[in-house]
A = this chain, B = another copy of it.
Amino acid sequence: MSYKTEQLHEEKVFKDPVHRYIHVKDRVIWDLIGAKEFQRLRRIKQLGTTHLTFHGAEHSRFNHSLGVYEIVRRIIQNFEGRPNWNPAERILCLCAALLHDLGHGPFSHSFEKVFRLDHEDFTRKIILGKTEVNAILKRVEPDFPQQVADVINKTYEDKLVVSLISSQIDADRMDYLQRDAYFTGVSYGHFDMERILRVMRPMEDQVVIKETGMHAVEDYIMSRYQMYWQVYFHPVTRSAEVILSKILHRAKHLYEEGYQFALEPTHFLSFFSGEVELEEYIELDESIALYYFHMWQRENDNILKDLCDRFMNRRLFKYIEFNPNLQMNEWMELFSLFKEVEIDPDYYLVVDSSSDLPYDFYRPGEEEERLPIHLLLPKNNELKELSRQSDIVESISGKKRTDHKLYFPLDLLDKISDDHQGKTRIFEILFG
């Protein structure tokens, strides 16, 4: 028996609060889970700073990765014996599902933005580089690592395989919506996945949904919409992200200026310079990052110190609705006033905007193109794009919504002497 098809002597199960049980029978999968690069995902939270808003959301990417694997496993189980399904792709799908988030670092959102990184690059690098994961994949076939990377990269030629991991209704999204709902405890995020799995059908270049399952899919789309606005874009979470980004900016700035750190930012140096090697990247998990933020609470630089204290002790910025496009003058005046009262606006006056497209049909050429959802009609096996069949989806389709907030440290503003003219004006602008 080849390593590719080797089965464990006895099936292993993981107890999972979302899918009840996660089943592993393939030796390859079992070995990948044990690889140190995969175990590292235990030290990276799935939702970054969201636990500062929803205290239950402390689950890791390790959790989520197992969940995506399990969903793909169940989809494939249903596909067995159906037309268009090539059983030889099974283990490839499972590996790609399990490893699709391997390149995430701590607080990916902020780190990627500040240091211009892309976690997908690092997923690829871990799969193709000199790692335990790579060694395991190579035992399957010499070019198997490349195939896995291609699937995750959406360049693999069998688009059906790609669509399991990346489409408007892929295993990734189905897992995170349910998982994040479970751990935050919100009542959104529930939909009938069992039904969706049963109505999925493999087609030549994509997974489609039998029309009888349309309402379950509508429910999924609405869950997604609610989770985005209730959880992922929650303004308190964004406040923590804002502070985190400013910590990274400040540390980089200080380093570039030659500031003498009490705790040298050893693990950050390659990030500052913009040339992050794979080993350095893997090294920096969340406990390492927190170690630095923790220690930097005692640096001499007042800004770095203050921001780290805020982040570690959840002393977040307050916020108001604020649209910088429409309120340019206020924005500029606030900027000057902050300088005047000696609160550096580069770190303490921040606009953050979030936007979401609840459902989009295919628009070729777009950067982040996701395959749309197609329904399979019983007559002639015709396909129809979801929003053409569902009133509900049609009504929200392509409606981009953006939410702008202005973040600032109310506690610092309160401390400005009341004599100071600027103080009154600032409060006037902020609170009307």
Contacts and interface: CB of A to CB of B under 8 A. Distances in A.
Contacts of A18: 185
Nearest to A379: B432
A61 to B, nearest CB: 11
Q: Give me the 6 closest cross-chain CB pairs, A-B, nearest first.
A: A17-B185, A395-B395, A287-B290, A291-B291, A187-B192, A287-B287
Contacts of A192: 186-187
A66 B39 CA distance: 29
A51 B42 contact: yes
Nearest to A188: B219
- For this chain, the copies found in one complex come to 4
A176 B155 CA distance: 47
B314 A39 contact: yes
A312 interface: yes
Contacts of A272: none
A294 interface: yes
Interface in A194-224: 194-195, 198, 215-216, 218-219, 222
A59 B62 contact: no
A375 to B, nearest CB: 15
Contacts of A218: 226
B191 A39 contact: no
A190 interface: yes
A55 B16 contact: yes
A255 interface: no
Contacts of A313: 34, 36, 39
Contact of A215 (B14, B54, B66, B226): B226
A185 B179 CA distance: 12
A91 interface: no
B290 A185 contact: no
Give the interface centre of A66, A188, A286 by most chain B CB atoms within 10 Å. Answer: A188
Interface in A94-140: none
A313 B285 CA distance: 13
Interface in A33-86: 34, 36, 39, 42-43, 51, 54-56, 58-60, 62-63, 66
A225 interface: yes
B59 A63 contact: no
Contacts of A21: 194-195, 198
Given A391-B396, A401-B391, A185 B16 contact: yes
A203 to B, nearest CB: 18
A314 B291 CA distance: 21
13 contacts: A42-B51, A42-B55, A42-B58, A55-B66, A56-B59, A58-B58, A58-B60, A187-B219, A218-B226, A285-B294, A391-B401, A392-B395, A392-B396
Interface string A284-305: 0111101100100000000000
A290 B43 contact: yes
A335 interface: no
Nearest to A37: B313
A336 interface: no
B391 A56 contact: no
A56 B288 contact: no
